[in-house]
Amino acid sequence: MYDSGKVILGVAVFLCLASFPAWYNVITSKADYRPDPVIVVSDNQCIESTQYMREYHMQLLKEWRDDAVRNGKTIYTASDNKTYEINLTGTCLKCHSNKTEFCDTCHDFSGVSPNCWDCHNIPKSGK
Protein backbone atom coordinates (compact mmCIF):
# COMPACT_ATOMS: atom_id res chain seq x y z
CA MET A 1 0.00 0.00 0.00
CA TYR A 2 1.46 3.28 -1.11
CA ASP A 3 -0.99 5.47 0.83
CA SER A 4 -0.99 3.63 4.18
CA GLY A 5 0.14 6.77 6.01
CA LYS A 6 -2.80 8.74 4.60
CA VAL A 7 -5.24 5.95 5.49
CA ILE A 8 -3.95 5.74 9.07
CA LEU A 9 -4.11 9.52 9.41
CA GLY A 10 -7.65 9.52 8.02
CA VAL A 11 -8.77 6.83 10.47
CA ALA A 12 -7.17 8.73 13.36
CA VAL A 13 -8.90 11.98 12.37
CA PHE A 14 -12.22 10.14 11.99
CA LEU A 15 -11.91 8.57 15.47
CA CYS A 16 -11.07 11.95 17.00
CA LEU A 17 -14.07 13.61 15.37
CA ALA A 18 -16.44 10.72 16.15
CA SER A 19 -15.45 10.64 19.82
CA PHE A 20 -15.41 14.44 20.26
CA PRO A 21 -18.89 14.71 21.86
CA ALA A 22 -17.95 12.21 24.56
CA TRP A 23 -14.63 13.90 25.31
CA TYR A 24 -16.24 17.35 25.28
CA ASN A 25 -18.81 16.26 27.88
CA VAL A 26 -16.10 14.78 30.11
CA ILE A 27 -13.89 17.87 29.90
CA THR A 28 -16.69 20.44 30.43
CA SER A 29 -18.71 18.36 32.95
CA LYS A 30 -21.90 19.14 31.04
CA ALA A 31 -22.87 15.48 30.92
CA ASP A 32 -24.05 15.65 34.55
CA TYR A 33 -26.24 18.74 34.06
CA ARG A 34 -29.87 18.39 35.06
CA PRO A 35 -32.39 21.21 34.98
CA ASP A 36 -33.64 22.43 38.34
CA PRO A 37 -37.29 23.44 37.97
CA VAL A 38 -38.67 25.94 40.48
CA ILE A 39 -41.73 24.93 42.52
CA VAL A 40 -43.50 28.07 43.71
CA VAL A 41 -45.70 26.66 46.51
CA SER A 42 -44.19 25.07 49.65
CA ASP A 43 -46.49 22.03 49.42
CA ASN A 44 -44.00 19.20 48.80
CA GLN A 45 -46.62 16.48 48.29
CA CYS A 46 -47.31 15.72 44.66
CA ILE A 47 -49.93 13.20 43.57
CA GLU A 48 -47.18 10.61 42.94
CA SER A 49 -43.51 10.31 43.87
CA THR A 50 -41.00 12.72 42.35
CA GLN A 51 -39.26 9.97 40.41
CA TYR A 52 -42.58 8.70 39.02
CA MET A 53 -43.61 12.19 37.95
CA ARG A 54 -40.26 12.84 36.26
CA GLU A 55 -40.59 9.68 34.20
CA TYR A 56 -44.32 9.31 33.61
CA HIS A 57 -46.06 12.68 33.94
CA MET A 58 -46.99 12.81 30.25
CA GLN A 59 -48.51 9.32 30.38
CA LEU A 60 -50.41 10.33 33.53
CA LEU A 61 -51.71 13.50 31.88
CA LYS A 62 -52.81 11.53 28.82
CA GLU A 63 -54.62 9.04 31.09
CA TRP A 64 -56.27 11.97 32.86
CA ARG A 65 -57.34 13.44 29.54
CA ASP A 66 -58.87 10.16 28.42
CA ASP A 67 -60.54 9.51 31.78
CA ALA A 68 -61.97 13.01 32.25
CA VAL A 69 -62.86 14.05 28.71
CA ARG A 70 -63.72 10.74 27.09
CA ASN A 71 -64.87 8.53 29.99
CA GLY A 72 -66.31 11.08 32.44
CA LYS A 73 -64.10 9.90 35.33
CA THR A 74 -63.06 12.89 37.47
CA ILE A 75 -61.28 11.27 40.44
CA TYR A 76 -57.73 9.89 40.38
CA THR A 77 -56.58 7.42 43.02
CA ALA A 78 -52.82 7.68 43.58
CA SER A 79 -50.52 4.80 44.50
CA ASP A 80 -50.85 5.78 48.20
CA ASN A 81 -54.68 5.50 47.87
CA LYS A 82 -55.23 9.26 48.20
CA THR A 83 -57.76 10.67 45.78
CA TYR A 84 -57.35 13.79 43.68
CA GLU A 85 -59.60 15.63 41.28
CA ILE A 86 -58.56 15.10 37.67
CA ASN A 87 -58.03 18.73 36.85
CA LEU A 88 -54.85 20.26 35.43
CA THR A 89 -55.63 23.73 36.74
CA GLY A 90 -56.93 22.71 40.17
CA THR A 91 -54.40 19.98 40.90
CA CYS A 92 -51.13 20.37 38.99
CA LEU A 93 -51.02 24.11 38.41
CA LYS A 94 -51.53 24.92 42.09
CA CYS A 95 -47.87 24.07 42.72
CA HIS A 96 -46.48 24.25 39.21
CA SER A 97 -47.94 27.63 38.31
CA ASN A 98 -44.93 29.20 36.61
CA LYS A 99 -44.71 27.63 33.16
CA THR A 100 -41.44 29.37 32.31
CA GLU A 101 -39.55 28.34 35.44
CA PHE A 102 -41.09 24.87 35.86
CA CYS A 103 -42.42 23.32 32.65
CA ASP A 104 -40.20 25.04 30.10
CA THR A 105 -37.01 24.37 32.09
CA CYS A 106 -37.21 20.61 31.56
CA HIS A 107 -39.03 20.62 28.23
CA ASP A 108 -36.43 22.93 26.65
CA PHE A 109 -33.60 20.81 28.07
CA SER A 110 -35.22 17.65 26.66
CA GLY A 111 -36.11 19.26 23.34
CA VAL A 112 -39.81 18.45 23.51
CA SER A 113 -42.84 20.63 22.82
CA PRO A 114 -45.95 19.15 24.44
CA ASN A 115 -49.28 20.39 23.16
CA CYS A 116 -50.84 21.01 26.61
CA TRP A 117 -51.20 24.72 25.97
CA ASP A 118 -53.12 24.20 22.75
CA CYS A 119 -56.21 23.65 24.90
CA HIS A 120 -55.22 24.86 28.38
CA ASN A 121 -54.53 28.46 29.33
CA ILE A 122 -50.95 29.31 30.24
CA PRO A 123 -50.84 30.21 33.97
CA LYS A 124 -50.68 33.99 34.45
CA SER A 125 -47.37 33.84 36.33
CA GLY A 126 -45.83 31.77 33.53
CA LYS A 127 -46.53 34.05 30.55
Read off the pLDDT band of 9 (50, 70, 90).
very high
**Residues 61, 116: one domain?**
yes
User: Which pLDDT does position 125 carry in this prediction?
Assistant: 58
Spatial CA neighbour of 84 closest among 109, 112, 63: 63
Please give the pLDDT value at position 56.
92
Lowest-pLDDT range, 43-47, 60-64, 73-77, 86-90? 43-47
Regarding whether 60 and 28 lie in a shared domain, the answer is: no
CB 74 within 8 A of CB 86: yes
22 & 72 share domain: no
**Residues 32/38/44/50 CA torsion (nearest 10 deg):** -40
Mean pLDDT score across all residues of the chain? 83
- 25 and 69 together in one domain: no
- Pick the more confident residue, 70 or 32: 70
Confidence of residue 115 (pLDDT cuts 50, 70, 90): confident
- If asked whether residues 60 and 121 sit together in one domain, one would say yes
Domain count of the fold of the chain:
2
Q: Give the pLDDT score at 73.
A: 92
Position 43 in a domain: no
